[in-house]
Structure 1
């Protein structure tokens, strides 16, 4: 089992993405998001998650592949990057899979409209393609600071 990774599978548009389960603290339903003025467009605001002020990012908007239309299936992946807790809005969280590392290929330059700088690889599983995101690369240092400031504005 040491040659496998466990990933959480989620959807953005009609594409399936995966992230290492170790990068995700929890999966939540979308709660009321309080907007924070003066932040980047992809920062939708903050939520109070069990007493923690948590900035919320629209992952489609961040990856520049559109904006999320909120439905009953919309979920928020709660993650930590550089010790900053934040939520990523996704269309749907669908599965947890064990993936053999041997079936993970290097990412192409662009797939599903997402550039390779955000990707850790691509896995072909049965008849579907799973795009693996590297959450550590989703935000640069300046954007991380902006997310942290968005949470601090609400304290």
Structure 2
């Protein structure tokens, strides 16, 4: 007799088909256990115009409704100004301009996303938030198929709810903002 999970026993398979089915069930069970133990990553998903993007949730400090933006003369063309959230000043990066997307007028759905990345804190303005979604870590290793002009700002792409999402590469974004006069 074979022993299954929880100490239950079942009769030995009698036919070749039963043996094949038992082997398939064992492999499927082992694969499912492996899948269940695979690390999950939480993503904050949002849109910019008609495009969909994501950030790792552990990089997001907070999401806020619209705040007043104070312009700062002499900054990079990718810096819209600064915002003041609870007495902390954050530079506001024009992510639309950086990704060569048409800028949208802010609406009631627009949000500031304040991001902590390495030792830097900054904000971006997104057109709307969609959801927080957990995905398997290996799903973030997909090839980039989007516009070649912005591909270096995308860490990876994944399909989620029939949408292609680009996971933003914050290192590349910060590098570009810092080097532009």
Q: TM-score range by the shorter chain?
A: 0.7 to 0.9
| Structure 1 residue 2 displacement after superposition | 4.3
Matches within 5 A, 1:4-153: 4-104=40-140, 105-108=142-145, 110-111=146-147, 115-140=150-175, 143-144=177-178
Task: Give me the whole-angstrom Cα distance separating, in 2, the residues matched to 1:128 and 1:75.
Answer: 20
Structure 1 segments, 4+ long, off by >4 Å, are none
Which residue of the partner structure matches residue 152 of structure 1?
Answer: none
Task: Give me the whole-angstrom Cα distance separating, in 2, the residues matched to 1:126 and 1:8.
Answer: 14
Task: Give me the whole-angstrom Cα distance separating, in 1, the residues matched to 2:56 and 2:149.
Answer: 18
- Preserved contact between residue 18 and residue 131 of structure 1 (Cα < 8 Å): yes
| Structure 1 residue 80 displacement after superposition | 2.1
Q: TM-score, normalised by structure 2?
A: 0.71
Q: TM-score, normalised by structure 1?
A: 0.81
SS in 2 for 1:138: helix
Task: Give me the whole-angstrom Cα distance separating, in 1, the residues matched to 2:65 and 2:179.
Answer: 25
| Structure 1 residue 64 displacement after superposition | 2.0
Change (3 A) 1:114 1:99: farther
| Structure 1 residue 68 displacement after superposition | 3.1
Unaligned runs of 5+ in 2: 1-36
- Preserved contact between residue 3 and residue 100 of structure 1 (Cα < 8 Å): yes
Where relative contact order (Cα < 8 A, 6+ residues apart) is larger, the structure is 1
Q: Deviations over 1:102-140 (max 9, x none)?
A: 4341212x34x7622111111112422222112222121
Note the aligned Cα RMSD (angstroms): 2.1
Task: Give me the whole-angstrom Cα distance separating, in 1, the residues matched to 2:122 and 2:138.
Answer: 31
Change (3 A) 1:49 1:120: same
Structure with more helix by fraction: 2
How many residues of Structure 1 are paired with residues of Structure 2 in the alignment? 143
